[in-house]
C-alpha cells in the first residue's frame, strides 16, 4: 500500500458503558486529546490479508474488530447455525475453505430428478442456478436499446449512457493495448541499462539518463509500480475491455440460455442445480462467500467473519447485468428455504422490473430476513443517481426495515479511508465496511485480493450472521438497528469518490455516519437481547 501522509489524529480511547459491567463499546478519537500519529508504515503481509478483521484502537486500521470479538466475547461460546444466502455468480462449493459451510437442502433427495420438497426446483441440493449454462451477458441499458422501443421511459437515458460508455470503453481499450505494446521493450531497455534481469523499484528510481528512450522506459515502469500493475495485469485488463465491447455493450449478443419468459415472474423452475462457476475466472461469488463464512478453525487460507454459518448458493449474477426476474425469484427462494441473512453484491443503473425486486425485498423483511446489499462502485451519490436494487422509490418510504446498503472502506484510517470507487448517499447508504483490497477465497482452492462494495457487503452480512447466531431472539429489524447504531462514529471529514476537492463528514455520505464494528455490535446485541 502507499504510505500515509504525515498527518496526526487525536487519541484513541475506550468509552465505558455502565450497564451491568458489560464489555466496553469502542469509539473513534475525540478531537484535540493528543497527537497520536496515523499508521504510516506499510501493512505487513498478515495485516494486508486480515485488515478487515483488525481493530481501530489496537491496530490503527479501520477494520471491524472481528478478532477482538472472538477473543474477548465469543471464546468458548456455542451459537446457533444461521443460513446465509449468497445471491451472486457461481460459488466453488468444493473449495477447501468453504466445503464445510455449504447449506444442504435436507428436504430434497439428491439427483433423483424429482422436486421432492415441491418448491418448484428439481434437485436443488445446495441452492439454485438461475442462469443455467450462461455466463456472458449484456448490460441492462444495452438490452433496453436492443429492444428499440423509444416509448420506454428509460430509452433516452439508456441511449445517452450507452453512447458515453461505449466511447470511453473503446478509448480505454486502445490506451491499454498501446501500453501493452510499450511494456516489453521498455523493460528490456531497463534490464540492459542495469545489467541484470531482476530489478526492483529502487533500481529504476535511481536511473539517471539523457537518453529519451530510456527515460520513457523509466517513466513507463514507474507508472506500473505506482498503479501496482504488471504486464500480465495489463493484458488481463485488455481482455476484460474486449469482453465489455463484445458482450456487455453488444446489441446483437444473446446471453440468455434458459428458455424462460423473462417478462413472466410466474415462469419458474428454469435453470439447474449446478451452482459451481462455469469457469475459473468466475470467482466473484466464491470470494464473497469466503468473506462471510470461510472456515475459521481449519488452519487453511483465511477466516470468514462468521462461524456457525451455512451458505445457500444462488447463481444469479452473470458476466454482465443480472435480470430482475432472477433477482426477485432468488430472494424469494432464499426466504422460503430458511435463509435468515441474504447478501447481494450486485447492482445496475437500469431496472425494468424494479417493482418485482422491491416486492421481494419487502417479502424478506416481512419474513424476518436481513438483506445486505452493496452500494456500488461508480463513485456516485446514489441519492441522486439510481442504483438498483433499492428498497425505495426516489428516496421515498422504505419497503423494508431490515435492508442494509453498505459502502466500502480502504485500509487506512484518516481522510482517505473511504474507497475511491465507493458509492455513497446520506439516505441510501447505511454504513461503511472494509471493501478495498480484501483477501478471500477463489475457485479451485485458491485465494486472491479483490476490491469493491461487493466485498464490504458480505463483511456486514457476516456481522448480521454473528448476531443472529448468538442472539437469535433479535428480529431482523433489530439486527439492522444494532449494526447501524453500534458502528464507530467518524467525526473527521473524508475524501469522497477519490476527489481531494470533495471532502465531507461521514454523516453526509451515509445514514448512520459510522463504520461497521463486529465487537460493538455483539455488545449492543447482548444488551438489547436482555
Residues in the chain: 530
How far is the C-alpha of 433 from the C-alpha of 483, rounded, in Å? 11
How far is the C-alpha of 451 from the C-alpha of 223, rounded, in Å? 20
Q: Count the neighbouring beta carbons within 10 Å of the beta carbon of residue 297.
A: 8
Contact 134, 282 (CB under 8 A): no
Terminal Cα distance for the chain, rounded: 43
Alpha-carbon torsion, ordered 435, 436, 441, 442, to 10 deg: 120
How far is the C-alpha of 241 from the C-alpha of 296, rounded, in Å? 37
Alpha-carbon separation of residue 358 from 255, 331, 362, 398 (angstroms): 25, 10, 6, 9
Residue 281 sits at the vertex; the CA angle it makes with 277 and 285, to the nearest 5 degrees, is 50
pLDDT at 63: 97
- β-strand pairing of 403-409 with 370-374: parallel
| Contact residues for 184 (Cβ-Cβ < 8 A; gap 6+) | 231
Coil, helix or strand at residue 441: strand
φ, ψ of residue 319 in degrees (nearest 5): -85, 75
Q: For the chain, what percentages of helix, strand and coil (3-state, to nearest 5) are there?
A: 35, 15, 50
Q: What is the DSSP string of 278-335?
A: SSTT--HHHHHHHHHH--SSSSSS---S-SSEEEEEEE---BSPPPHHHHHHHHHHHH
Cell triple for 395? 428516496
How far is the C-alpha of 165 from the C-alpha of 321, rounded, in Å? 15
pLDDT at 530: 87
Q: 78-136+258-482 architecture in CATH? A: 3-Layer(aba) Sandwich (3.40)
**Per residue of the chain (530 residues), what is the pLDDT tens digit?**
222 222 222 222 222 233 334 466 655 443 322 333 566 678 999 999 999 999 998 888 999 999 999 999 999 999 999 999 999 999 999 999 999 999 999 999 999 999 999 999 999 999 999 999 999 999 999 999 999 999 999 999 999 999 999 999 999 999 999 999 999 999 999 999 999 999 999 999 999 999 999 999 999 999 999 988 999 999 999 999 999 999 999 999 999 999 999 999 999 999 999 999 999 999 999 999 999 999 999 999 999 999 999 999 999 999 999 999 999 999 999 999 999 999 999 999 999 999 999 999 999 999 999 999 999 999 999 999 999 999 999 999 999 999 999 999 999 999 999 999 999 999 999 999 999 999 999 999 999 999 999 999 999 999 999 999 999 999 999 999 999 999 999 988 999 999 999 999 999 999 999 999 999 999 999 999 98
How far is the C-alpha of 503 from the C-alpha of 497, rounded, in Å? 9
pLDDT at 26: 56
DSSP assigned state of 405: E
Q: Count the neighbouring beta carbons within 10 Å of the beta carbon of residue 191.
A: 14
pLDDT at 126: 98
Instruction: Compute the chain's Rg from CA coordinates.
Output: 24
Contact 431, 487 (CB under 8 A): yes
Domain ranges in the chain are 78-136+258-482, 155-248
pLDDT at 14: 27
pLDDT at 41: 76
| Contact residues for 157 (Cβ-Cβ < 8 A; gap 6+) | 350
Place of cell 428498497: 391
| Paired residues of 449 in beta bridges | 439
Coil, helix or strand at residue 224: helix
pTM of the model: 0.90
Residue 83, Cα to own-chain centre: how many angstroms?
19
| Contact residues for 332 (Cβ-Cβ < 8 A; gap 6+) | 360, 363
Amino acid at each position: 500500500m502507499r504510505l500515509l501522509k504525515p498527518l496526526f489524529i487525536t487519541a484513541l480511547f475506550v468509552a465505558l458503558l455502565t450497564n451491568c459491567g458489560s464489555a466496553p463499546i469502542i469509539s473513534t478519537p475525540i478531537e484535540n486529546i493528543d497527537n497520536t500519529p496515523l499508521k504510516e508504515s506499510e501493512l505487513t503481509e498478515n495485516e494486508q490479508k486480515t485488515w478487515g478483521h483488525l481493530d481501530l484502537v489496537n491496530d490503527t486500521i479501520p477494520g471491524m474488530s472481528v478478532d477482538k470479538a472472538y477473543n474477548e466475547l465469543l471464546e468458548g461460546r456455542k451459537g446457533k447455525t444461521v443460513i446465509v444466502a449468497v445471491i451472486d455468480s457461481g460459488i466453488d462449493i468444493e473449495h477447501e475453505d468453504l466445503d464445510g459451510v455449504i447449506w444442504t437442502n435436507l428436504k430434497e433427495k439428491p439427483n433423483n430428478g424429482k422436486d421432492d420438497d415441491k418448491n418448484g426446483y428439481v434437485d436443488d441440493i445446495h441452492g439454485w442456478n438461475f442462469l443455467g449454462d450462461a455466463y456472458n451477458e449484456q448490460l441492462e441499458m444495452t438490452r433496453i436499446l436492443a429492444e428499440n422501443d423509444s416509448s420506454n421511459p428509460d430509452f433516452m437515458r439508456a441511449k445517452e449512457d450507452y453512447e458515453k460508455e461505449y466511447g470511453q470503453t473503446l478509448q480505454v481499450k486502445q490506451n491499454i493495448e498501446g501500453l501493452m505494446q510499450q511494456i516489453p521493450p521498455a523493460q528490456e531497455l531497463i534490464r540492459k541499462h542495469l545489467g541484470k534481469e531482476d530489478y526492483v523499484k529502487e533500481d529504476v528510481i535511481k536511473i539517471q539518463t539523457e537518453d529519451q528512450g530510456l527515460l520513457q522506459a523509466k517513466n513507463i515502469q514507474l507508472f506500473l509500480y505506482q498503479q501496482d500493475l504488471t504486464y500480465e495485469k495489463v493484458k488481463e485488463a485488455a481482455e476484460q475491455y474486449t469482453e465489455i465491447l463484445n458482450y456487455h455493450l453488444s446489441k446483437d449478443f444473446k446471453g440468455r440460455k434458459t428458455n424462460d419468459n423473462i417478462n413472466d415472474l410466474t415462469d419458474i423452475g428454469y435453470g439447474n442445480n449446478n451452482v459451481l462457476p462455469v469457469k475459473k475466472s468466475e470467482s466473484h461469488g466464491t470470494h464473497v462467500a469466503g468473506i462471510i463464512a470461510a472456515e475459521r478453525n481449519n488452519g487453511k487460507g483465511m477466516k470468514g467473519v462468521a462461524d456457525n454459518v451455512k451458505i445457500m448458493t444462488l447463481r444469479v449474477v452473470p458476466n454482465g447485468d443480472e435480470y430482475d426476474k432472477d433477482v426477485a425469484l432468488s430472494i424469494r427462494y432464499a426466504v422460503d428455504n430458511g435463509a435468515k441473512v441474504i447478501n447481494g453484491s450486485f447492482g445496475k443503473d437500469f431496472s425494468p422490473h424494479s417493482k418485482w425486486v422491491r416486492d421481494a425485498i419487502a417479502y424478506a423483511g416481512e419474513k424476518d430476513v436481513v438483506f445486505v446489499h452493496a452500494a456500488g462502485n461508480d463513485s456516485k451519490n446514489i441519492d441522486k443517481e439510481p442504483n438498483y436494487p433499492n428498497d425505495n422509490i426516489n428516496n421515498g418510504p422504505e419497503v423494508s426495515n431490515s435492508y442494509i446498503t453498505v459502502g466500502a472502506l480502504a485500509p487506512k484510517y484518516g481522510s482517505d479511508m473511504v474507497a475511491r470507487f465507493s458509492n455513497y448517499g446520506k439516505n441510501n447508504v447505511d454504513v461503511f465496511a472494509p471493501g478495498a483490497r480484501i483477501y478471500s477465497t477463489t475457485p479451485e482452492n485458491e485465494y486472491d485480493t479483490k476490491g469493491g462494495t461487493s466485498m464490504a457487503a458480505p463483511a456486514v452480512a457476516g456481522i448480521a450472521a454473528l448476531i443472529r447466531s448468538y442472539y437469535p431472539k433479535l428480529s431482523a429489524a433489530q439486527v439492522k438497528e444494532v449494526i447501524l447504531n453500534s458502528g464507530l462514529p467518524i467525526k473527521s471529514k473524508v475524501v469522497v469518490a477519490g476527489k481531494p476537492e470533495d471532502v465531507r463528514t461521514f454523516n453526509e455520505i451515509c445514514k448512520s455516519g459510522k463504520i461497521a464494528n463486529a465487537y460493538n455490535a455483539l455488545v449492543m446485541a447482548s444488551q438489547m437481547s436482555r
